[in-house]
Structure 1
Amino acid sequence: MNQQNYDKLKSLKLMGMAEAYENMSQGQQFDELSFDERLSLMVDHEESLRKTNKLTRLISAAHFPMKAAIEDILYQEDRRLDKALILQLATGNYLTDGRNIIFKGPSGNGKTFFATAFGVQACRQFNKVEYKRLPHLVEEFKLAKYQADGSYLRLMKKLVKTDLLILDEWLLYPLENEEATIINARHEAQKSNIYCSQLNISGWYENLGNGTVAEAIMERIIHNAYDIELDGKMSMREKLSFKQTER
């Protein structure tokens, strides 16, 4: 291995190519490859490493509350899940179309797990995702208002521009002006949101403040949204507990 070439690749931050170059110098199986074939392997390794690093950054920046993935979803009969719909949504077409997903159901039935799984899937497709619990977001805005460093505007801009916004514990408390502004701005920008709520949609109206503003927000959320009810005789927490016991 030419150490100077290796050091230059690292200084140019071509870490994948440097790693592949080092591996090739140590393996005789690469000796018979042409220059183009070796270069192709180095470029492929660089691309793969960059994608892996980007995915790691996206998942870390999303602040997910747990580990979850589409492939880990349990399709027990009592849950009455539409597997075809879940797999269709996993392709990410709803993001392209600017459509929302609503996960409804009692506490413990897997709303946060599903939202996180879809958020991770969106990250795998290299979308920027932000996970927020609505009560925490309300407090975040209250603190940002009193900062003189532009925190409030940066938070608003970040939430409006992100490719997918996940709002957990949706309408557990009445909606504040900031959250309503974000919903309206993301609707105008045709950005997708995922809502997790213990309330049926019919019970949203009161916590949206009633009146024409509430009607407008509901229309923007519900219009073309995928409404998914998470059911089951046993909660997800209980099922996962039993599953771990069996292991």
Structure 2
Amino acid sequence: MSTSFLLETYAKRLRLPTIKRVYKEIAHDAAERQIPYEEFLLALLEQEVQQRDANQIASRIKHAKFPSMKTLDQFEFSAIPSLNKPKLLQLARCEYIEKTENIMFIGNSGTGKTHLSIALGKEACHHGYSVQFWTAAKICNELMEAQSQKRILQLERQWLKTDLIILDEVGFVPLSRTGAELLFQFCAARYEKGS
């Protein structure tokens, strides 16, 4: 059996798809530049780790179910001069999650609350945190449906396992009494957990 075949077989078996894809190119470069074996191995492993990190970030972002992709770089801070940009950039470091602190954006419609929420949520995904984005109306509907199907505990476990919950449009759409009560109970359960 050829060395290439064995390398690809082992890379597949060990679930190292990036190494399988790039090893020939990196090996050729290492041979041309007479790179020591350890540096060659390091370059291969770095490629695998970087790709896995990127895949995990993409997975967390997908799981968060953001309605759109927004970043802090895209936000027009000049449109709202009273907004504390240094504070928002500090929040992007996600220390508030570790400290189990809450953040609330309050303002009129069209002032960028959703944009900032998504941007901070994406930053949390990049920092390794699990995130869920919900509108208040959607989570209330989901809670009422879960209650009627007797799977509310399942939804609560999912809610409590998530590092960051983003609730958008709170107070924007009127909620049913039952939905509002369930939402309050869920928020209280999360608060009791200390997150």
Q: How does 1:62-101 map onto structure 2 within 5 Å? A: 62-76=64-78, 78-101=80-103
* Aligned AA (1:58): R
* Structure 2 length-normalised TM: 0.88
* Structure 1 length-normalised TM: 0.71
Q: Partner of 1:103 in structure 2?
A: 105
Q: How does 1:12-91 map onto structure 2 within 5 Å? A: 12-27=14-29, 32-76=34-78, 78-91=80-93
Worse-matched range after superposition: 88-97 or 2-11: 2-11
CA-based RMSD of the aligned residues comes to 1.9
Figure out how many residues of one structure are paired with residues of the other and give that number: 189
- CA-CA distance at 1:30 after TM superposition: 5.0
User: Among residues 176, 183, 189, which one is paired with 1:179 in the alignment?
Assistant: 183
| Percent identity of equivalent pairs | 26
* Aligned AA (2:193): A
- CA-CA distance at 1:29 after TM superposition: 5.5
Q: Deviations over 1:183-219 (max 9, x none)?
A: 122222222xxxxxxxxxxxxxxxxxxxxxxxxxxxx
- CA-CA distance at 1:155 after TM superposition: 1.2
SS at match of 1:79: coil
- Whole-angstrom CA distance in 2 between matches of 1:160 and 1:79: 36
- Whole-angstrom CA distance in 1 between matches of 2:126 and 2:142: 27
- CA-CA distance at 1:116 after TM superposition: 0.4
- CA-CA distance at 1:91 after TM superposition: 0.8
- Segments of 5+ residues of structure 1 without an aligned counterpart are 192-247
More strand as a share of residues = 1
Q: Deviations over 1:44-94 (max 9, x none)?
A: 111101000000000000000111012222221643111111111111111
- Whole-angstrom CA distance in 1 between matches of 2:32 and 2:64: 40
User: Among residues 189, 195, 202, which one is paired with 2:193 in the alignment?
Assistant: 189
Q: Deviations over 1:110-142 (max 9, x none)?
A: 111110000001001010000000111111112
2:80–2:111 CA contact under 8 A, matched in 1: no
Q: Is residue 163 of structure 1 aligned with residue 163 of structure 2?
A: yes
Structure with more contact order per residue of length (Cα contacts < 8 Å, sep ≥ 6): 1
- CA-CA distance at 1:16 after TM superposition: 2.0
Q: Partner of 2:126 in structure 1?
A: 124
* Aligned AA (1:34): P
Worse-matched range after superposition: 137-146 or 110-119: 137-146
